[in-house]
Each structure stands twice: as structure tokens, then as C-alpha cells.
Amino acid sequence: MSDLDTTSRAVLAGSAYRDERHLAARQSLYRWQQPTYDLPGIVLDHLPTGGGGVVLDVGCGNGRYVTRIRAQRPDLTVVGLDISAGILAHVAPPVAVADAAALPVADRSAVAVLAMHMLYHVDDVDAALTESVRVLSPGGTLIASTNAREDKNELDDLWSAAAAEVLGVERGPRRVSLSSRFPLDDAPAMLRPYFADVEVVELVGAITVREPEPVIAHLASYRTWADTAGVPFDATLECARRLLDSVIDRDGEFRISCRSGLLFCHGPR
């Protein structure tokens, strides 16, 4: 799997995030996670208070954070930015199609920038961070999120086992890893050259499902990258369903370990 596939604007805007369907499938799996985390609520707790200001949600997707912040912080002007016009279609304005490495925003004009589970899709992460620093006011905050390398390893193992069965080999290729270019393990070191203070809040939990559909929907959401997954995608998906059925019949459930995190970055350099 090359970086080009997971960072190509044409692929991201034209297929992966052409609308909210695939993103919503990935988000929905967390309904079965314990403990639950109110991510927009955590973000709200870390936004500047008093005086209003502009918040940029870069890579806002289907507007989950935009909608919540607008509802609870009407003093803030929240602007949703994304490279996909299609996924912005149902996000209330102000929104704009924009590249994270070339934000259409004036210098020092934002009190906060959000980069929620999206920096791994940026072709040049350093350029995106430079842009965040440029648009933030001196006391501004960047809030980013991403997954750790071992996040949802059980899904990797499931996909690999299904792929091996389909291909008739001992070990099949693992599933596409979207966050590998900006994993939680490396993110603080990548952010510190741009911010004086980087605080990491880890979110650890487990997803437990007792039927295969939520997991299969999650795996199916990676269809955009089917041509580079190294296996017949639909056949592997069906095999994964059979393997899941076997585990659930045997154990009564299928558990997925989760480790992700939020990064609160202060003091743009």
C-alpha cells in the first residue's frame, strides 16, 4: 500500500470521501465500544473560552464536530474545511473545499484548528502543520486525533486470515492502515517542532460485537483501496464474515482492542 493511494486528492475526494457513507460506517463501529468517549465533548472542553473567535475544522468530513461545537458554543464561528465537495454537501455553511496544506484563511485568524483523524491523509504533514501554525493566533490551539499502531489489531488479523484462505497461502496481507503515516506513537514528536506544548490524552477501550454486520461494514468501507489490497476484495469480505460467524458461535462475541488519542497543541512557534 503506497502513501499515494491514501493521500491522493483524487482518490480521497472522488471515492473514499465522495460522500459520508464510508466514513459513517467506520464511525458506527464505535457504538459498541466500552468505555465510550464523547470526542466532540472533549474537544469542546479544550476550546478557548470567552471572546469568541474562529475555529477551523480541517478535514471536517460529515461535520460531526462542526455541528456539535456550533450548537454548544454559538460565540464561536466554526468553519468546516475538506478536500471533498461531496462530503461537505450536507454540512451547514460556512464551509469550503480546501487543502490542509494551503488553507484559504488569513494569518493568525483562528483561535483553534481541529485536525481530527485526518493528518494521515495529508501528502505533506509538515506543510499542513506549518499552515496550522500560520493561521493560529499566538494563543491558539491545534487539536488533533489519530490511532495507535496496534489499534484494532484484531481486525488486521481477521482480514489477514480471510485473505490467506482466499489466496490459499499461509499468511495473507493485512488490511489497509490509514493512520500509519501519523500514528499516535509518533505524533507527539511530529508535532513538537511546531508547538511549545503538546499534551496527549490516550483513549483505550474495547469494541464487543455479537453479530458480524458492524465489523463487515467497517471492513467494507475500505473498498476504495480494493485494487491495492492484494486480494479479491469481495471474496475476502465474505470469508471474513464466515470467520466472524465461527468466532461468535464459539465465544458469543468478537472483541476488538482500541487505542487512539487526542493531542492538544499550544504555543504555535
Per-residue pLDDT in tens (0 to 9) along the chain, 269 residues: 344 478 888 889 999 899 999 999 999 999 999 999 999 999 999 999 988 999 999 999 999 999 999 999 999 999 999 999 999 999 999 999 999 999 999 999 999 999 999 999 999 999 999 999 999 999 999 999 999 999 999 999 999 999 999 999 999 998 888 899 999 999 999 999 999 999 999 999 999 999 999 999 999 999 988 877 678 999 999 999 999 999 999 999 999 999 999 999 999 99
CATH number at residue 85: 3.40.50.150
C-alpha cell belonging to residue 267: 504555543
The count of C-alpha atoms lying within 13 angstroms of the C-alpha of 259, restricted to the half-sphere facing its C-beta, is 11
| Alpha carbons 43 and 57: distance in angstroms, whole number | 11
- Cis check for the bond before 94: say yes or no (omega within 30 of 0): yes
Cβ atoms 147, 260 nearer than 8 A:
yes
3-state secondary structure of 155: helix
Calculate the CA dihedral of residues 132, 135, 141, 143 and round it to 10 degrees: -40
The structural domain count of the chain equals 1
CA angle 73, 130, 96 (to 5 degrees): 50
Element housing 23 (H / E): helix 21-28
Three-state SS sequence of 174-226: CCCCHHHHCCCCCHHHHHCCCEEEEEEEEEEEEEEECCCHHHHHHHHCCHHHH
Q: Which range marks the domain in which residue 103 is found?
A: 3-268
| Alpha carbons 47 and 43: distance in angstroms, whole number | 6
Q: In what order do the strands lie in the sheet with 33-34?
A: 33-34, 195-209, 254-268, 136-147, 110-116, 53-58, 76-82, 95-97
Q: How many C-beta atoms surround the C-beta of residue 104 within 10 A?
A: 11
| Alpha carbons 20 and 41: distance in angstroms, whole number | 21
Return the exposure string of 195-221: e unless at least 16 CB atoms fall within 10 Å of the residue's CB, then b. Answer: beebeeeebebebebeebebbbbbbbb
| Alpha carbons 120 and 265: distance in angstroms, whole number | 17
Task: Tell me the whole-structure pTM to 2 decimals.
Answer: 0.94
Q: How many Å is the Cα radius of gyration of the chain?
A: 19
